[in-house]
Structure 1
Amino acid sequence: MVTGEIANWGPAGGNLPDVTVYDTLPKLLRKNAQDAPNEVAQREKDFGIWNEVTWRDFNDHVSKMAVAMREMGVEAGGVVALIGDNRPEWVWGEVAAHATGAMSMGIYREALEDEILYLLNYTKPLLVIAEDEEQVDKLLNLGDRIPYVQRIVYSDPRGMSKYDDERLWNLERFEEAGAAALKSEPELYDRMVDATNAEDVAILCTTSGTTSNPKLAMWQSRAFLGHAVNYLKADPKDSSDEYLSILPLSWVMEQMYAVGWNMIARMTVNFPEEESTAMADMREIGPSFVLLSPRVWEIVAAEVRARMMESTPWKQAIYYWAEKRGMEAVSKGQKDGLSEWLLFRALRDRLGFSNLKSAATGGAAMGPEIFKFFQAMGVPLKQLYGQTEGLGAYTIHKNGAVDYNTVGFPFPNCTLQVKDPDVEGVGEILVKHPHMMLGYYKNEEATREVFDAEGYFHTGDAGYLDENKHLVVIDRISDLAETSEGVRFSPQFIENKIKFSTFIAEAVIVGKDRPYLTAIICIRYPIVSKWAEQKRIAFTTYTDLAARPEVYEMMRAEVERVNADLLPAQRIKKFVLLYKELDADDGELTRTKKVRRKVIAEKYADIIGNLYSDTDYVDIDTVISFQDGTKQRIKTKLKVEKLGDAA
């Protein structure tokens, strides 16, 4: 057992407000508007221009939206749903909902109609704040299956003139309704804010749903703000810090940064123009702090290497020499001045990382090689660990004590223990701190299953505490497996090593109760296609490219590189290159890009079966459905690539 002590971390930094007094988001917002009315709270890029929102503006928008919600019947204990890209209007709507005493519920922007229907039917919101035409279309297509939704408020008017539905209001009209009510009763909003209660549930946050429909974790204002302050003791921020909001606002960690830290530390939150322009926008902003998922860090590293493929042989030689030198130095706990001067200084500037004071990754495991790459680049990257049920992260690396194999040390007042450890000290990770979720919304049975009598949350993850009391996470307990030969392995550990490759987007390791390990691999299409063009390899589609013998030959070399670092019994004996990318819309990944192994095992049972037969090819004849409703028939052969002594 280990407990994070305040002395292990130090003060939170800055002059933070007392969240036991300003104990709800509306109260904090009002205080910020009074103390720093002209200070920039948010920025949003639109048509190439960064538009600023001051704390006074922020509070003004929220006050009008909150009163409009009250006028239309949103009450304490109700739900306001939000869906769309990361935008200031999302946060305004969330805080406005809290001012009415209602709960906010974020829905992932990529969610399909069935997913949206499930969440709306479960919570029955009167109001949905939808960003634009794309999200409004999803809601309107649900027709009379969501009769409780009385108002759909959209913020982007483009393409909306063709609709004729009395539920649809643009944000300007909605705020005007609130302003009219405030004009006749100027003190109304202040009374609403004063009435907000820290013990009330303010946020419903969806869990990852790796095995079924997501559950909704209930967060009280007291817990949300209290945990944000404890986090700020581990990673201090203040009003001088700039943050670029990239990951979905419905995700637990983006809530903590773009909402919690924004309100408490007055850290400026910047919203990119589009998801596709986020990296370019990052260079313009030059944030001091950034959070990216392991998948995004992997993509950034892969794109850096892809750009080098287009460089001259001389530049490529310098790059690979300096990269290797820098990563070797980091492995020894050192920094290499020559590689910094030749490569990494310019690379940080190119990516928008020059001003970073801290950076984090979480939501899934990151391979050590990716971690070392960014550490060598000079990015102050730290791994964090947590769950939605624990209000996000509750462990993180300390400054000067970054260990690629661990997820760091627990936050202040956070206690970790390992349940029923085996002879190697590995067991289930349990956590307890003062700011856990209240429980699952409308699901007391599931709540009782994950909390024990002492108040510990059972994470379902396997791990251990090392000699420095840092937490090492191995994998989901349900995913740890043995081959039929008795060889124990962690699929996630091997998958992360494979995904360090520039050319591999996803990998799924198979081998439970089988004689050896095999892999289903998805190519990283934008980069492999560029490689193929340089090699003058003809192809038409993803499916065609993944089947090319030259691609298989290149992928074989990548897998053999990984095998060389694994124990002989844990090496991959066979693999296939899948004919499509794994997709959350097909249920193969969660919205936070975690693999749903049960879905993979069922959906690709024929492929897996052929990996353990003596066949050389797998015949595929299937139909793929796209998000726009179109379908495509895929008819191809997947080669079963054999390595080593595979039969």
Structure 2
Amino acid sequence: MNIEKTIPALITNRIKKYQSKILFQRRDGWSWKQITWLDFERDIKSMASFLLDLGFGSGDAAITVSPNRMECLFTEVAVCFLGGVAIPMEGDEFLERIEELAKGVRIKFIFTADATIANRVITLFKSFPDLGKIIIFSYNDLGKDDRIIPYASVLKFGLLKRKQLEDSLTKTSEGVSPDSPAVIFYEPGSNGKVSEKKVAHLDLIEALHLMAKTYPFIGEEDQSFSCLPLASPFEKFINYLALYMGSRIVMAETREDFFEDILEVKPTVVFETRNGLEDICSRVLSDAGEKSGGEKLRRDLGNRIKYVLTDSPPKDWIKNLFSKSGASIIEVPELNKLGKL
């Protein structure tokens, strides 16, 4: 029986189970930095302590405008620890709807990897009556406005606050309701109107539990790898499956990073969208003959790949190419079905 009903409960149990086991790896110059489950706990609780200290609580919203990267996942988990709501958005969509969002959602924080986004929000800061800070994932192009704080500084401030807030943080995370929304997606409809799609904690946990039973061949000894730049439910939640299963995670931030890093990471499992798979295969075939395409694909993906989890079935020629490489493509429909309109 699955006893976990919220994201905080899931993450807390996995941290207790895996502790010093490696969870994340990320490139740091010429080397790779390894992040354990205990490191993960320190950072999400430091982030949560920072947010809690500035008045963030149950029902408050934080927008993340960023490709799926480690900082973004840590942030969204920290928001969920406080019973808050994460709203993932793509840059263009956010800029188009920024004034509408300012009027319709109680936004306390905005997280972004893009200085252009941060500076645009500054010009409209007064339009967000509840907005506290803008947190940017990079030091690059950081201006002098004290309303913009680098992510690394947030973790340092939060770590200092964590001791005095530990009891409040524990009480808050344990009090998160399974039925409360964890994430809200805004999706354009066929009539041109934007729909709000809410995903509750319990809905996500039950989907992950079902996936763990459906795909038992993916486990804690696997190395996952992805490059997922958009804000769809699949792209946002597929790395939660790795968290659920205890697998190691690497998240490339660009397609160029993907092809460079994967040769060193040598993953056994790749998370990728249908469109992403077509891009990967087209690049591989651009300088490989049809007969050697499968072998080249396997080499280009690190030579250990066993499974590719994707959001929807790819074209037949892509299936055939991956089959020749020795990898199985598996559609994961559970994640895009999440949420109530």
Residues 205 and 68 of structure 1, relative CA distance in 2, 3 Å threshold: same
Match of 2:22 among 40, 48, 51: 40
Question: What is the aligned partner in structure 1 of residue 51 from structure 2?
Answer: 69
Residues 183 and 234 of structure 1, relative CA distance in 2, 3 Å threshold: closer
**What is the CA distance between 1:212 and its match in structure 2?**
2.4
User: What TM-score, normalized by structure 1, do the two folds share?
Assistant: 0.49
**Aligned counterparts of 2:83 and 2:269: Cα–Cα separation in 1:** 32
Q: Which has the larger radius of gyration?
A: 1
Is 1:194 equivalent to 2:174 in the alignment?
yes
Q: Residue 30 of structure 1 aligns to which amino acid in structure 2?
A: T
Is 1:359 equivalent to 2:340 in the alignment?
no
Question: What is the aligned partner in structure 2 of residue 291 from structure 1?
Answer: 271
- The answer to whether the 8 Å contact 1:84/1:135 transfers is no
**Pairs within 5 Å for 1:207-218:** 207=187, 209=189, 211-218=191-198
**Aligned counterparts of 1:54 and 1:387: Cα–Cα separation in 2:** 26
**What is the CA distance between 1:344 and its match in structure 2?**
5.3
Match of 2:326 among 378, 384, 399: 378
Q: Residue 60 of structure 1 aligns to which amino acid in structure 2?
A: R
**Aligned counterparts of 1:101 and 1:349: Cα–Cα separation in 2:** 42
Is 1:307 equivalent to 2:256 in the alignment?
no
Match of 1:227 among 199, 204, 207: 207
- Give a deviation string over 1:311-368, Cα, whole Å, max 9, x none: xxxxxxxx34x3xxxxxxxxxxxxxxxxxxxx356313432153222113325x6332
Is 1:124 equivalent to 2:106 in the alignment?
yes
**Aligned counterparts of 2:259 and 2:320: Cα–Cα separation in 1:** 21
- Give a deviation string over 1:269-310, Cα, whole Å, max 9, x none: 1022534321221222121111222222222222223214xx
Residues 303 and 178 of structure 1, relative CA distance in 2, 3 Å threshold: closer
Residues 46 and 85 of structure 1, relative CA distance in 2, 3 Å threshold: farther
- The answer to whether the 8 Å contact 1:105/1:205 transfers is yes
**What is the CA distance between 1:66 and its match in structure 2?**
1.0
- Give a deviation string over 1:75-98, Cα, whole Å, max 9, x none: 211111111122211111111111
**Aligned counterparts of 1:297 and 1:204: Cα–Cα separation in 2:** 26
Q: Residue 244 of structure 1 aligns to which amino acid in structure 2?
A: F
What residue ranges of structure 1 are gaps of 5+ in the alignment?
1-17, 309-318, 323-342, 392-436, 441-647
Is 1:239 equivalent to 2:188 in the alignment?
no
Q: Residue 29 of structure 1 aligns to which amino acid in structure 2?
A: I
Is 1:85 equivalent to 2:67 in the alignment?
yes
- The answer to whether the 8 Å contact 2:285/2:293 transfers is no
Q: What is the aligned length? A: 340
**What is the CA distance between 1:224 and its match in structure 2?**
0.3
SS at match of 2:40: helix
Q: Residue 108 of structure 1 aligns to which amino acid in structure 2?
A: E
Is 1:101 equivalent to 2:88 in the alignment?
no
SS at match of 2:26: strand
**Aligned counterparts of 1:368 and 1:296: Cα–Cα separation in 2:** 15
Residues 54 and 387 of structure 1, relative CA distance in 2, 3 Å threshold: closer
Match of 1:174 among 154, 177, 186: 154
How large is the Cα RMSD of the aligned pairs? 2.5
- Give a deviation string over 1:241-283, Cα, whole Å, max 9, x none: 111131136221123321x213211121102253432122122
**Aligned counterparts of 2:37 and 2:280: Cα–Cα separation in 1:** 33
Q: Name the structure, 1 or 2, with higher relative contact order (CA <8 Å, separation 6+).
A: 2
Question: What is the aligned partner in structure 1 of residue 297 from structure 2?
Answer: 348
**Aligned counterparts of 2:304 and 2:139: Cα–Cα separation in 1:** 35
SS at match of 2:194: coil
**Pairs within 5 Å for 1:266-345:** 266-308=246-288, 319-320=289-290, 322=291, 343=292
Q: Residue 27 of structure 1 aligns to which amino acid in structure 2?
A: A
Residues 95 and 360 of structure 1, relative CA distance in 2, 3 Å threshold: closer
Greater share of helix: 2
Residues 386 and 120 of structure 1, relative CA distance in 2, 3 Å threshold: farther
**What is the CA distance between 1:181 and its match in structure 2?**
2.9
What residue ranges of structure 2 are gaps of 5+ in the alignment?
none
SS at match of 1:218: strand
- The answer to whether the 8 Å contact 2:219/2:247 transfers is yes
Residues 279 and 28 of structure 1, relative CA distance in 2, 3 Å threshold: same
**Aligned counterparts of 1:151 and 1:133: Cα–Cα separation in 2:** 14
SS at match of 2:174: helix
Q: Residue 228 of structure 2 aligns to which amino acid in structure 1?
A: L
**What is the CA distance between 1:202 and its match in structure 2?**
1.2
Residues 243 and 207 of structure 1, relative CA distance in 2, 3 Å threshold: farther
**Sequence identity (%):** 16
SS at match of 2:183: strand
**What is the CA distance between 1:59 and its match in structure 2?**
0.8
**Pairs within 5 Å for 1:417-432:** none
Is 1:50 equivalent to 2:32 in the alignment?
yes
SS at match of 1:207: strand
